[in-house]
Amino acid sequence: MQLIYTHQTEEFIVLLWQFDFDKQTSSNEIRSYHRNFLIHFLPTITKNHQSRLYFNDNGKPFIQDAEYKSISISHTLNYLAIQLRKDIYAGIDIETQRNQLAKVQHKFLNEQEITNANNDLNLLCCFWTSKEAAFKIYGHQSISLKEHIRIVQYDLPTIYVDIRLNSKIERFELHSHYLHPLNITYVVKKIEENFK
Q: Mind listing the domains of the chain with CATH numbers?
A: 2-92 (no CATH), 93-191 (3.90.470.20)
The pair phi, psi for residue 108, each rounded to 5°, is: -125, -5
CB-based contact 55:34 (threshold 8 Å): no
Q: Give every CB contact of residue 15 below 8 A, 6+ residues apart in sequence.
A: 3, 5, 6, 45, 81, 82
pLDDT in tens, the chain (196 residues): 899 999 999 999 999 999 999 889 998 899 899 999 999 999 999 999 999 999 888 778 999 999 999 999 999 989 999 999 999 999 999 999 999 999 999 999 999 999 999 999 999 999 999 999 999 998 766 888 999 999 999 999 999 999 998 888 999 999 999 999 999 999 999 998 766 5
User: What is the Cα–Cα distance from 42 to 110, expressed in whole angstroms?
Assistant: 37
Q: Which amino acid is at 149?
A: I
